[in-house]
Structure 1
Amino acid sequence: MQHKPTDLITLGKITSVYGVRGWVKIFSHTDPMDQILDYERWFIERDGERRWVNVDRGKSHGKGMIAHIQGVDDRAGAEALAGFEIKIERSMLPKLDDGDYYWWQLEGLAVETVDGVALGRVHHMMSAGRANDVMVVQSERPDDSQQERLIPYLWEQVVKSVDLDRGMITVDWDPEF
Structure 2
Amino acid sequence: MVVLGRLVTPYGVKGWLHLHPFGDDPASWRHMAQWWLAPADGDKTQWSATKLSGLRQHGGGWVAKLESVDSREAAEALAGWYFAAPREELPATENDEYYWADLIGLRVINLQGEQLGLIETLIETGANNVLKLCDGDKEHLLPFVEQVVKKVDIAGGCMTVDWQADW
TM range (shorter): 0.7 to 0.9
Q: Which residue of 2 aligns with 1:151?
A: 142
Q: Which runs of 4+ in 1 moved over 6 A?
A: none
Residue pair 1:111, 1:118 contacting (<8 A) in 2 also: yes
> Residues 34-53 of structure 1 correspond to what in structure 2 (within 5 A)?
34-46=27-39, 47-48=42-43, 50-53=47-50
Aligned-partner Cα distance in 1 for 2:12–2:96: 43
What SS is found at the alignment partner of 2:78?
Answer: coil
- Is 2:8 the counterpart of 1:15? yes
Choose the corresponding residue for 1:54, options 51, 54, 60.
51
Provide the rounded CA distance (Å) in 2 between the counterparts of 1:23 and 1:69. Answer: 7
**Per-residue deviation, 1:170:** 1.5
Note the C-alpha offset of 1:79.
2.8
Which structure has the greater CA radius of gyration?
1
Change (3 A) 1:175 1:78: closer
Identity of aligned residues (%): 32
**Of the candidates 170, 174, 177, which is equivalent to residue 160 of structure 2?**
170
Cα offset for 1:101?
Answer: 2.0
Q: Distance in 1 between matches of 2:98 and 2:11?
A: 34
SS of the equivalent of 1:169 reads: strand
Q: Is the 8 A contact 2:32 2:90 kept in 1?
A: no
Contact between 1:114 and 1:171, CA under 8 Å: does it hold in 2?
yes
- Cα RMSD between the aligned structures? 2.3
Asked whether the equivalents of residues 40 and 56 of structure 1 are also in contact (C-alpha less than 8 Å), the reply is no
TM-score using structure 2 length = 0.82
Please tell me whether the aligned partners of residues 56 and 64 of structure 2 are also in contact (alpha carbons under 8 angstroms). yes
* CA 1:25–1:139: 2 relative to 1, 3 Å: same
Q: Structure 1 counterpart of 2:65, which letter?
A: H
* 2-structure distance, mates of 1:61, 1:165: 37
Q: Is the 8 A contact 1:28 1:36 kept in 2?
A: no
Gaps of 5+ in 1: 1-7
